[in-house]
């Protein structure tokens, strides 16, 4: 058969047609199996006569190699999961416009754009990657001293030119399932670095995404994400309509290094694994809206974390974390407005963790603002509750300029505080702070001003403060407090609040009991200077060796 239209019924017919430059439209009538890898001619289109016609490549063979202006439509394409089912020829000068429409894939979809390619567009609609494995691919985007594992669908502009940009529009991409999650990241879109090889998009939307990280405990320089937006990516609008579920350690539901004007998440985000995170923003987002909850399970698995970048407006329905050292919200950057329509709830404890050569305590706080962080407006329509020991419902080393919290702010654990401000600023209105087992409010070198109609109820102490706080004992008198708090409060002063002096023996005992993570919270300046990723994790094999070494040295001295 000749001409621009070809009806394909056998493997031999398909192989022959893909070699013919005159064959433009290949229509698959029957399922085809045991194919070698096929390279399409420029502007060649392959479509199923009816939806779901299956094309299966032979074992260990890769799938379709696209050149320029190709189309795959109404097909099921199968390779082995660790092979590329659809991939880009690196030797062309232009992609043209690639169209992927209503295809289901076993294997990776990979568009890695080389420096040879000057321009092009990828337009994908209703693409589902049923199964894929990408951990064996060692070519990975790197930032903050960590590598991002490639995705089931990877679009990566590796051109080292400021003038070369790739356009991408994706409608309803989905991957994996509850029983068969992707072994790697889900959707990865990335440029070359912070200055070169850009990717531009008007719209990205996703359905359900299920991933399973195969990152071993103690690997500190490798992460996965359900949706990963890398550097030099400019996106006007992202919609995550489906659930994002991650089953491994070091996995994030969403990880952003790029620039997004408007991002909407309309289904839940759930992570199961140590040191995971519902969302990390280290790029720039104008408005991020979540109309369903974030829920995390695992040591150090935070709900939302921002250690770099910018975010103007963050709207969240609810965050629940279940692991030790797992705060609901944590950041050390500026956020203009944070709104929570329901609750922030954590169930884990504060624990001792290992970071580099030091041991630090990391809590499971409701809101944790580290040095350099500023929250201009906080509005919580529900409650903030921490159940574990040594936690804070709100902990601030930065500034909360105006806070409105409708429900109670309740710390339920031992030595847990509802509000702690250390060398920071807090202003709130109509808030009830409760500590069921210790102090409701703890102030150290704090500025606690412009507050109205507050309540503080602690089991032992209502308010504990040091003389360095700007609301000192002369201003913060019981008479003055009656104008702020709606109850007489028990107030205790200290010249300086002493931190808990845990012995080294107790610290190391805590370390041995649990998974140790590198979780030191550092400023954005330190991140940029040192290139450190503050979410990286690792068990500490050196503790035992260090103890034995010290013992030997002591024996020598004796």
User: Helix (H, G, I), strand (E, B), or coil: what is residue 40?
Assistant: coil
In this model, does residue 535 exceed pLDDT 50?
no
In this model, does residue 498 exceed pLDDT 70?
no
pLDDT for the residue 355:
64
pLDDT category, 527, cuts 50, 70, 90?
very low
Q: Mind listing the pLDDT tens digit for each residue in 382-416?
A: 999 999 999 999 999 999 999 999 999 999 999 99
Q: Mind listing the pLDDT tens digit for each residue in 108-120?
A: 999 998 888 888 9
Q: How far apart are CA 456 and CA 426, in angstroms?
A: 15
DSSP one-letter code for 273: S
pLDDT for the residue 231:
87
Q: What is the DSSP string of 489-537?
A: --EEEESSPPPP---HHHHHHHHHHS---------HHHHHHHT--TT--
pLDDT for the residue 529:
43
In this model, does residue 359 exceed pLDDT 90?
no
Q: How far apart are CA 292 and CA 491, in angstroms?
A: 40
3-state per-residue secondary structure call for 313-352 = EEEECCEEECCCCCCCEEECCEEEEEEECCCEEECCCCEE
Question: Which residue from 177, 332, 184, 179 is spatially nearest to 251, judged by alpha carbons?
Answer: 184
Residue with tokens 């509750």: 385
For range 427-444, the mean pLDDT: 92
In this model, does residue 550 exceed pLDDT 70?
no
Contact 274, 247 (CB under 8 A): no
Q: Mind listing the pLDDT tens digit for each residue in 217-245?
A: 667 788 999 999 998 899 999 999 999 99
Buried b (16+ CB within 10 A) or exposed e, 391-410: bbbbbbbbbbeebebebbbb
Name which of 20-34, 112-126, 172-186, 217-231 the model is least confident about.
Answer: 217-231
In this model, does residue 543 exceed pLDDT 50?
no
pLDDT category, 357, cuts 50, 70, 90?
low
pLDDT for the residue 122:
97
pLDDT for the residue 470:
65
Residue 366: half-sphere exposure toward Cβ, Cα within 13 Å: 30
Contact 230, 258 (CB under 8 A): yes
Contact 106, 133 (CB under 8 A): no
pLDDT for the residue 476:
56
Per-range mean pLDDT, top range of 68-77, 109-118, 142-151, 478-487 = 68-77
In the predicted model, what is the mean pLDDT of the chain? 85
User: Helix (H, G, I), strand (E, B), or coil: what is residue 556?
Assistant: helix
Residue with the larger pLDDT of the pair 293 and 429 = 293
Contact 33, 9 (CB under 8 A): no
Contact 102, 73 (CB under 8 A): yes
pLDDT category, 526, cuts 50, 70, 90?
very low
For range 75-98, the mean pLDDT: 95
pLDDT category, 516, cuts 50, 70, 90?
very low
pLDDT category, 207, cuts 50, 70, 90?
very high
Question: Which residue from 449, 432, 522, 440 is spatially nearest to 485, judged by alpha carbons?
Answer: 432
pLDDT for the residue 114:
84
pLDDT for the residue 108:
98
Question: Which residue from 53, 41, 38 is spatially nearest to 7, judged by alpha carbons?
Answer: 53
Question: Which residue from 122, 96, 228, 118 is spatially nearest to 162, judged by alpha carbons?
Answer: 118
Contact 107, 116 (CB under 8 A): no
Q: How far apart are CA 191 and CA 166, in angstroms?
A: 9
Residue with the larger pLDDT of the pair 294 and 248 = 294
pLDDT category, 200, cuts 50, 70, 90?
very high
Burial class (CB in 10 A: 0-12, 13-18, 19+), 170: buried
Q: How far apart are CA 256 and CA 233, in angstroms?
A: 10
- 3-state helix, strand and coil shares in percent for the chain, rounded to the nearest 5: 10, 50, 45
Q: Mind listing the pLDDT tens digit for each residue in 38-65?
A: 999 999 999 998 777 999 999 989 999 9
pLDDT for the residue 478:
59
Q: How far apart are CA 427 and CA 330, in angstroms?
A: 19
Name which of 78-87, 172-181, 301-310, 462-471 the model is least confident about.
Answer: 462-471
Q: How far apart are CA 95 and CA 123, in angstroms?
A: 11
pLDDT for the residue 477:
58
Contacts of 545 (CB under 8 A, 6+ apart): none
pLDDT category, 198, cuts 50, 70, 90?
confident
Q: How far apart are CA 454 and CA 482, in angstroms?
A: 10
pLDDT for the residue 480:
60
pLDDT category, 376, cuts 50, 70, 90?
very high
Q: Between the CA of residue 530 and those of 145, 336, 400, 538, what are the distances in Å? A: 9, 27, 28, 18
Q: Mind listing the pLDDT tens digit for each residue in 144-154?
A: 778 899 999 99
pLDDT for the residue 346:
98
pLDDT for the residue 481:
62
Question: Which residue from 497, 402, 375 is spatially nearest to 446, judged by alpha carbons?
Answer: 497
Handedness of CA 540, 366, 368, 306 (dihedral sign): positive
Enumerate the β-bridge partners of residue 170: 124, 204
Angle at 409 between CA 407 and CA 415, to 5 degrees: 160
Query: Can you say whether residue 20 is alpha, beta or left, with left for phi > 0 and alpha for psi between -120 and 50 degrees?
Result: beta
Residue with the larger pLDDT of the pair 363 and 452 = 363
In this model, does residue 363 exceed pLDDT 50?
yes
Question: Which residue from 204, 90, 85, 250 is spatially nearest to 152, judged by alpha carbons?
Answer: 85
Question: Which residue from 522, 536, 526 is spatially nearest to 252, judged by alpha carbons?
Answer: 536
Angle at 473 between CA 471 and CA 479, to 5 degrees: 90
Q: How far apart are CA 98 and CA 121, in angstroms?
A: 6
pLDDT for the residue 142:
85
């Amino acid at each position: 058969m000749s001409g621009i239209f070809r009806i394909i019924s056998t493997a031999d017919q398909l192989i022959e047609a893909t070699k013919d430059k005159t064959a433009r439209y290949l229509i698959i009538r029957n399922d085809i199996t045991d194919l070698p890898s096929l390279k399409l001619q420029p502007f060649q289109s392959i479509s199923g006569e009816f939806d779901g016609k299956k094309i299966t490549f032979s074992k260990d063979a890769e799938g379709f190699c696209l050149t320029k202006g190709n189309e795959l439509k109404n097909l099921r394409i199968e390779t082995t999961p660790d092979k590329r089912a659809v991939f880009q020829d690196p030797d062309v000068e232009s992609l043209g416009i690639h169209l992927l429409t209503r295809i289901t894939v076993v294997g990776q979809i990979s568009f890695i754009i080389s420096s040879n390619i000057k321009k092009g567009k990828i337009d994908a609609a209703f693409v589902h990657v049923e199964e894929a494995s990408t951990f064996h691919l060692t070519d990975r985007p790197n930032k903050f001293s960590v590598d991002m594992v490639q995705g089931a669908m990877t679009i990566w502009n590796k051109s080292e030119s400021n003038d070369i940009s790739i356009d991408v529009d994706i409608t309803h991409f989905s991957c994996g399932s509850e029983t068969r999650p992707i072994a790697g990241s889900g959707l990865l879109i990335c440029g070359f670095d912070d200055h070169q090889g850009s990717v531009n998009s008007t719209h990205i939307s996703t359905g359900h995404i299920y991933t399973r990280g195969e990152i071993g405990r103690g690997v500190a320089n490798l992460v996965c994400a359900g949706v990963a937006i890398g550097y030099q990516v400019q996106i006007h609008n992202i919609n995550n309509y489906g659930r994002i579920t991650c089953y491994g350690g070091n996995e994030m539901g969403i990880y952003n290094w790029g620039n997004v004007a408007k991002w909407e998440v309309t289904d839940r985000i759930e992570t199961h694994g140590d040191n995971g995170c519902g969302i990390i923003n280290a790029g720039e987002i104008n408005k991020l809206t979540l109309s369903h909850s974030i829920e995390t399970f695992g040591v150090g698995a935070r709900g939302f974390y921002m250690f770099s970048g910018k975010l103007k407006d963050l709207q969240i329905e609810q965050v629940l974390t279940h692991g030790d050292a797992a705060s609901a919200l944590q950041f050390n950057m500026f956020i203009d407005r944070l709104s929570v329509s329901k609750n922030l709830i954590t169930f884990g404890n504060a624990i001792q963790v290992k970071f580099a050569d030091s041991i630090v305590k990391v809590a499971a706080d409701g809101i944790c603002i580290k040095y350099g962080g500023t929250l201009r407006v906080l509005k919580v329509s529900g409650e903030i509750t921490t159940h574990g020991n040594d936690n804070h419902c709100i902990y601030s080393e930065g500034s909360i300029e105006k806070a409105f919290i409708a429900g109670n702010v309740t710390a339920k654990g031992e030595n847990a505080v509802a509000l702690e401000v250390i060398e920071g600023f807090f202003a709130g209105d109509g808030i009830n702070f409760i500590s069921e087992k210790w102090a409701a409010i703890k102030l150290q070198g704090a500025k606690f001003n412009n507050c109205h109609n507050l309540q503080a109820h602690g089991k032992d102490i209502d308010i504990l403060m040091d003389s360095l706080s700007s609301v000192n004992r002369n201003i913060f008198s019981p008479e003055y407090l009656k104008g702020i708090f709606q109850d007489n409060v028990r107030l205790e002063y200290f010249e300086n609040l002493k931190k808990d002096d845990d012995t080294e023996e107790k610290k190391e005992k805590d370390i041995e009991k649990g998974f140790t993570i590198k979780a030191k919270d550092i400023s954005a300046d330190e991140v940029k200077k040192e290139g450190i990723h503050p979410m990286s994790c690792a068990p500490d094999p050196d503790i035992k060796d260090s103890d034995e070494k010290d013992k030997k040295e002591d024996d020598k001295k004796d």
